[in-house]
Amino acid sequence: MLLESPLPVLLSWKDSSALVVAEAARVVEAVDPGEAEGLLSATTAASRVFILGQGRSGIALRALAMRLMHLGLCVHAVGDATAPAIAAGDRLLIASGSGRTPSALAAARSAIAAGVEVAVITAAPHSPLASLAPTVLVVPAAEKRDRSAQSSSQYAGSLFEQVLWLLGDGLFHALWQRSGLTADELWARHSNLE
């Protein structure tokens, strides 16, 4: 006789959303404040900031790039047709949960060869990418290939990407408060071609 497997517990949308929020809050709380301050300093010390991330990490970094532009920073997304050559005095900010994305590693090495310091946001502090950067912010979330459900019950790198977005908004908010700029001054830089 075959034993029936128990049916999986199906969470409601509300329960699933609560799980996502709880996991994200736990990880944000676990981020090292010194690493976050280091990223703030590295970002504001640069002549220009170039951002690089693939997939959903790239989308989250583009959101941060927009907010940095609102603050008046010169920001470029690597791969955009209008992104200029990177040079000494610039900063390359890369987000990679695994710290092993081939395009991110290649870009970091090219930037270093051009005299540029790299800053990395990753879930893998001992990764090849993290080893190339003097500024590393570790997001203690599961990497996208981690299927153990120990760090997160969510699929793939969802938790890393969610926290990346939240950290980006937190970093922006801290910089905005320190800038003394008003919301109206930031809004003047918002796209008027929408």
- Residues 93-152 have pLDDT tens digits of 999 999 999 999 999 999 999 999 999 999 999 999 999 999 999 999 976 666 666 677
Phi, psi of 22 (to 5 degrees): -65, -45
Quote the CA–CA distance of 151 and 26 in Å, as a whole number. Answer: 10
Mean pLDDT of the chain: 92
Q: Find the distance separating the first CA and the last CA of the chain, reported in whole Å.
A: 64
Cβ atoms of 122 and 97 within 8 Å: the answer is: yes
Whole-number pLDDT of residue 6: 61
Q: What is the pLDDT of residues 4-17, one digit of tens each?
A: 656 566 788 899 99
Q: Is 185 exposed, middle or buried (0-12, 13-18, 19+ CB in 10 A)?
A: middle
Please tell me the CATH code under which domain 37-142+152-176 is placed: 3.40.50.10490
Q: What is the pLDDT of residues 20-51, one digit of tens each?
A: 999 999 999 999 999 999 999 999 999 999 99
Whole-number pLDDT of residue 70: 97
Cβ atoms of 68 and 48 within 8 Å: the answer is: no
Whole-number pLDDT of residue 3: 56
Whole-number pLDDT of residue 165: 97
Residue 77 neighbours by CB distance under 10 Å: 17
Average pLDDT over residues 46-64: 97
Which pLDDT band, with edges at 50, 70 and 90, does 79 fall under?
A: very high
Task: Output the pTM of the full model.
Answer: 0.91
- In this model, does residue 2 exceed pLDDT 70? no
Per the residue annotation, which of 23, 117, 143, 161 is the catalytic one? Answer: 161
Answer yes or no: 4 catalytic: no
Q: Is 105 exposed, middle or buried (0-12, 13-18, 19+ CB in 10 A)?
A: middle
What are 139's two structure tokens? 């997001």
